[in-house]
Structure 1
Amino acid sequence: MNKQVLKKSNQFIADFEKVIQKPRKHPSTVYYTGVDLGTACVVLAVLDDQYQPVAGAYRYADVVRDGMVVDYIGAVEIVSELKAELEQQLETELVYAAASLPPGTDELDGGAIKNVVQSAGFELTNLLDEPTAANQLLKITDGAVVDIGGGTTGISIIEAGKVVKVADEATGGTHLSLVLAGAYKISFDEAELYKREVKHHDELLPVLKPVIEKISSIIMQQTFGFTVNGIYLVGGTACLKNIEAIIEKTTGIPTFKPINPMFATPLGIALSCTDQVLK
């Protein structure tokens, strides 16, 4: 059942990867954009009026740290540039966008993310937490959606189709890079780039295993007392090859991830976008 659950999500992600390379230009009454301001990467996903992928763009950046906007001007510039790039490709104006933020940070940073999206020229129509956003794509009815980002790990627990708990803790890809930099005696930036190369993943897994086990312990703590029959990983850090095997072994809970976990959240954000401006 779990593999079947991800079948539609995987196809949707595969379609999105195609339109990043070759946008689909066709008549649409409206376009919906998902803006994902990640710690390591900013992603824009564009859907048409049938909520199908038509274009997308992303850029690695250092404008967000531990889920918080630390370079406001830089964030606005990147989102504005990606928006202009996509508008040129689609030969239309992108008006409506939705965005997300780590669970529990709304009061701390929700205003900053909202302002970034609006300052880039969008009308903001939705703002939701990252793992809940990802589940707009995954459509998990029972289980835990775990968004392993750069600075934090966000968790949404879903029972009978309803989100019953959201949580966020400060461990993620940044911590993997710090461990890698220390082990290999390289700079943090070099470690980030090295980690992104899939060809290095088999070699890196033993080095990074303690941090992955720490993420597993966070998942266990946050899901304690709930019936969780499946863990679904999203976020850029979840792209690490075989991370799901370590988490499954540590937690004892079947663990799955879509074909490209980095795009699950931005696509989920786009699916939550409407043409009704958020008040």
Structure 2
Amino acid sequence: MSEKSLTFEYCDNLVQEFEEVIERPILNGTSTYYTGVDLGTACIVLAVLDENYKPVAGAYRYADVVRDGMVVDYIGAVKIVRELKQEIEEKLNTELLYAAAAIPPGTDALDSGAIKNVVQAAGFELTNLLDEPTAANEVLKIENGAVVDIGGGTTGISILKDGKVVYVVDEPTGGTHFSLVVSGAYGMEFKEADKFKRDNRNHKELLPVLKPVIEKVASIINQHIKNYNIEEISLVGGTCCLTGIEAIIEKQTGIYTHKPRNPMFVTPLGIALSCTQEIIE
């Protein structure tokens, strides 16, 4: 088996383990729990790992408290994170102390304080705050390539060389635009269209409708990677759950494009993997 296949196998296995513990948490008597808090535009995810950094529990909720990577409803964000924290604590019969969080690339000067405050106000000790692509690469383990995070409001592109992020950009095209196209094509209210888009039973029908938006995302990727020697593209973010999106991006870019088992859970797991017991002041 190639090194690339082994890397993808690690990612997909970790995601599968996480999906399983969301439904059936593992009570293994670990001494320490590490939590990754992913405040997404469309969905907030908490991923909990044990002292050996193995998934033991998780929870998520679709929400509208973050837009384009910025917290727009601080009270609502704190409430949801606190509720998800309490939900997991009840299942594990313990208190979750340590958490890490992440911000979209290039927004640290704008919003890192708000995200830090949300996590702390929800009752966590914040131990790390990193950018989302770096977090995702804790799971993807790309050496030379690009991580493309298609979130609700924006598409973040990070280029990695020798495993380190050397270029990041965040562009205003994402899942919201996909939902607007669905809304217009089917005459649905936005929230109904967003829900319709998330149902994978509708993906085969939706792919031709959404192809122009996906091609726009691919053109954004092409624009930002043209000066780099990119060997592979990995897709993360909830919008990438759309069945077939990877084939269109690969065709438009001409670069091998990999989509993990569940792109929505890659970044929160990477955030959790970066969590420590060293508290940020």
Number of aligned pairs?
279
Tell me which moved more, 140-149 or 1-10.
Answer: 1-10
> 1:257 corresponds to which residue?
259
Q: Percent identity?
A: 67
Taking the aligned partners of 1:84 and 1:11, their CA distance within structure 2 comes to 27
TM-score (norm 1): 0.98
Aligned partners of 1:11, 1:162: CA distance in 2, in Å? 23
Partner of 1:98: 100
Give distance in 1, aligned partners of 2:44 and 2:164: 28
Partner of 1:37: 39
Residue 130 of structure 1 corresponds to 132
Shift of 1:4: 3.0
| Rounded Cα–Cα distance in structure 2 between residues aligned with 1:3 and 1:254 | 13
Q: Secondary structure at the match of 2:51?
A: coil
Give yes or no for the alignment of 1:231 onto 2:237.
Answer: no
What's the counterpart of residue 111 of structure 2? 109
Partner of residue 150, structure 1: 152
CA distance in 2, matches of 1:103, 1:159: 16
Instruction: Output the amino acid matched with 1:274.
Output: T
Q: Following superposition of structure 1 onto structure 2, how do residues 238-249 of structure 1 map, counting pairs within 5 Å?
A: 238-249=240-251
The one-letter code of the counterpart of 1:153 is: T
- 1:169 is aligned to 171
Listed as ranges, the gaps of 5+ residues in structure 1 are: none
CA deviations 1:111-133 (Å, max 9, x no partner) are 11110000000011111111111
In the other structure, the counterpart of 2:26 is 24
| CA distance in 2 between partners of 1:268 and 1:215 (Å) | 24
* TM-score scaled by length of structure 2: 0.98
Structure 2, unaligned stretches of length 5 or more? Answer: none
What amino acid is the match of 1:22? R
- Cα displacement (A) at 1:101: 1.0
Q: C-alpha offsets along residues 252-277 of structure 1, whole Å, 9 cap, x if unaligned?
A: 11100110000000000000100001
Residue type at the aligned position of 2:174 = G
Counterpart amino acid of residue 9 in structure 1? C
d(CA) in 1 for partners of 2:164 and 2:75? 36
Report the alpha carbon displacement of residue 47 of structure 1 after superposing the two structures with TM: 0.2
2:201 is aligned to: 199
Q: For 1:45, what is the secondary structure of its paired residue?
A: strand
* 1:80 aligned onto 2:82: yes
Partners of 1:222 and 1:4 in 2: CA distance: 28
| Whole-angstrom distance in 2 between the partners of 1:91 and 1:51 | 18
Q: What is the Cα deviation at residue 224 of structure 1? A: 1.7
What is the distance in 2 between the residues matched to 1:250 and 1:190?
30
